[in-house]
Structure 1
Amino acid sequence: MKENYLAKWLNNELTEAELAEFEKTAEYATYKRIAEVSGELEAPEFHLAAAFEDIKKKQSQNTPKVVQLNPMRKVWRIAAAIAVIVVASYFYVNSMDETVSTQFAQRTEVVLPDASEVVLNADSEVSYSEKKWDQERNISLKGEAFFKVAKGKKFTVSTTDGTVAVLGTQFNVENRKGFFEVTCFEGLVSVTFNGKETKLPAGTSFMAIDGKVIPSEAPNTAAPSWINNESSFKSIPLAYVLDEFQRQYNVEVETENVDLGQLFTGTFSNTNINLALQSISTPSLIKFKLEGNKVLFYAEDAP
């Protein structure tokens, strides 16, 4: 076979005579099969722009990054954060108030920074700023407390119903829901209620029930009765008496056909529940049932 027959055949340039002669050769069948198979193959698509972008991307990924190392900058950031936390904690701690509270059937004593004394009755709470005490002797009260105030700057007791101000004295303040009473046992007390100031010398009281000022009798003791484990009342609605009984004994009180508005005058023990029940029920003409941690007061004519 002539060497140029294959090239000319691939380029379709053979004459009829040359093609006839080429087809007679032994290699023709092999070349023809190769040509047929290769004709069925498809070349992969090639996008020049996409290939160029792919190359750029790979180059950027392989390019080493230069990192500026500044270890002191990180240290200063941490130090600044710690400083902020320390300063904030300092002001937070110094602005916090000291709070002391009691639960039902509990009593506690508090000695203030100036040696003034506070005795908390059951279910009561006082709060004050120990850090600012030298600048302002002020206490917030919820419930009832007896105060023995050391002489010094103005001493103020703030409640939701009124404010009590003294210089150095002994007095009792009770601030319950719907009930506000201040009793002065020594010295002079100033009570501000509904914007009006009232001066209380030793042996006098100020009382308001449901926002209305009520005349009160002078105390005949040197301290409130509850200090000596008794609860005393003079013409007080029975509802407040039963509330105090509940606080002193941590019991659940229920009533049935009882006039809670009737006025009660008397005393009950804070240490003997059976005696206390008798002391409340007898003058009120009511009966009671004590079962476990529950007490039912009911009228005598109740079924």
Structure 2
Amino acid sequence: MEKDNFLGRWLADDISEEEKKEFENSKDYLAYKDILKSVEKFERPAFDIEKGLENQKEYNKTYKATSKSKVLKPRFWLYTAAAVIVILIGLRTVFFTTTEVYTEMAETKTLTLPDNSLVTLNADSSVEYDKKSFEKNRIIHLKGEAFFDVAKGSSFTVQTKNGDITVLGTEFNVYSRNKLLEVDCFEGKVKVTNSKQAIILTPGKSVRSNIEGVLDSKEIKESKPNWMSGKSTFSQVTLKHLIEELERQYDVQITTNSNVDLNRLFSGFFVHNDLDKALKTCFDPMNIKYILNSPKEISLSNK
């Protein structure tokens, strides 16, 4: 992707499909798109291309060799707009205080929030909060999975697309992917609310939404989520869910033959530091054959 005039070419719709897809998947795309809405309110200069060409031809007849004049191209406004966007992005940085922290595949990360609460993100997860107002409202948005060690104080809320978790000062783990929400309480009290119901968890209690979104309770014995110790554990999850977690923890791609039932249920665990051991632990009990086509590509089939 050319950097010198890329924004101008994007505004002019003068980029390839490959460049377009790469840009739309980048973190900057939404910011540029929002700012462009403001740019479009500016009064654009009108260009009569045909008349301009005729005037240029007439001018060329009397053109002097010492002249340094240049012909303005029809897309001049669009390239100028790109420069305006860069300026507006700078203003956006000044006036907006949203902070986003994310992890890549096979990566975990711990961050300290403005109120000294700690958040540990599992692989392929992200949190977002307003650092300017956070200590006042203590609201954070989560995608994926994270363990929270919340400093005591006012109400602390974790918002996910599958439901909200509200606490005062406690330790808890939240998993929110696709339509699944799972919350484990290790200390204090946790209130879990979704569109179906609200449940208060005490230490050693956990809740998980089923396919209809109903929250089912269960007990846990651990003092911290297992993934923080390098192991993922599962109870009655689908093979599809298991495969997605393997892909996150090892940054691999797993494909299945049509004879593999992705709705089969799995209960067990896998470690995060040994791919071959993890594959054996998961698939040998299910009588599924796995082949490492490359260090990053694995295929599954029934034995």
After TM superposition, the score normalised by the length of structure 2 is 0.67
Q: What SS does the corresponding residue of 2:209 show, helix, strand or coil?
A: strand
Question: Which of 296, 299, 303 does residue 302 from structure 2 map onto?
Answer: 299
Does the CA contact (< 8 Å) of 1:101 and 1:125 recur in 2? yes
1:242 CA displacement: 0.8
Asked whether the 8 Å contact 1:94–1:131 carries over to 2, the reply is no
SS at match of 2:285: helix
* Separation in structure 2 between the aligned mates of residue 172 and residue 121 of structure 1, nearest angstrom: 10
Higher Rg:
1
Paired residues of 2:181 and 2:209 also in contact (CA < 8 A): yes
Q: Following TM superposition, by how much is the alpha carbon of 1:295 offset from its aligned partner in structure 2, in angstroms?
A: 0.8
| Corresponding letter in the other structure for 1:179 | L
The one-letter amino acid paired with 1:264 is: F
Give me the whole-angstrom Cα distance separating, in 2, the residues matched to 1:297 and 1:235: 20
Is the 2:239–2:262 contact (alpha carbons within 8 Å) kept by the matching residues of 1? yes
**1:2-30 Cα distance to aligned partner (Å, 9 max, x none):** xxxxxxxxxxxxxxxxxxxxxxxxxxxxx
**1:126–1:211 distance in 2 versus 1, CA, 3 Å:** farther
Is structure 2 residue 182 aligned with structure 1 residue 181?
Answer: yes
Structure 1: which 4+ aligned runs deviate by more than 2 Å? 91-96, 209-217
| Cα gap change, 1:252 to 1:233, in 2 (>3 Å) | same
Worse-superposed segment, 186-195 or 141-150: 186-195
2:94 is aligned with what amino acid?
A: V
Q: Which residue of 2 aligns with 1:281?
A: 283
SS at match of 1:191: strand
Cα pair distance change 1:182/1:176, threshold 3 Å: same
User: Does the CA contact (< 8 Å) of 2:196 and 2:213 recur in 1?
Assistant: no
Unaligned segments of structure 1, at least 5 residues: 1-84
Q: TM-score, normalised by structure 1?
A: 0.67
Q: In 2 relative to 1, CA 285–214 (structure 1 residues): closer, same or farther, beyond 3 Å?
A: farther
Query: Distance between the aligned counterparts of 1:213 and 1:246, measured in 2?
Result: 27
**How do residues 51-66 of structure 1 correspond to structure 2 at under 5 angstroms?**
none
Moved more, 156-165 or 95-104: 95-104
**Residue of structure 2 equivalent to 1:200:** 201
Match of 1:111 in 2: 112
SS of 2:119's partner is: strand
Structure-to-structure mapping, 1:137-286, within 5 angstroms: 137-213=138-214, 215-256=216-257, 257-286=259-288
**Residues 27-106 of structure 1 aligned to structure 2 (within 5 Å):** 89=91, 93-106=94-107
User: Is contact 1:123-1:247 (8 Å) kept?
Assistant: yes
CA distance in 1, matches of 2:186, 2:256: 35
**Alpha-carbon distance change, 214 to 238 in structure 1, aligned in 2, over 3 angstroms:** farther
RMSD over aligned Cα atoms: 1.8
Distance (whole Å) between structure 1 residues aligned to residue 228 and residue 114 of structure 2: 22
Distance in 2, Cα, partners of 1:194 & 1:213: 9
- Where does structure 2 lack aligned partners over 5 or more consecutive residues? 1-86
Contact 2:152 2:170 in 1 (8 A): yes
CA distance, structure 2, for counterparts of residue 295 and residue 92 of structure 1: 42
Task: Give the SS at the match of 1:206.
Answer: strand
Identical positions, percent: 39
Deviation at 1:134, TM superposition (A): 2.0
Distance in 2, matches of 1:93 and 1:177, equals 34
**What does residue 69 of structure 2 align with?**
none
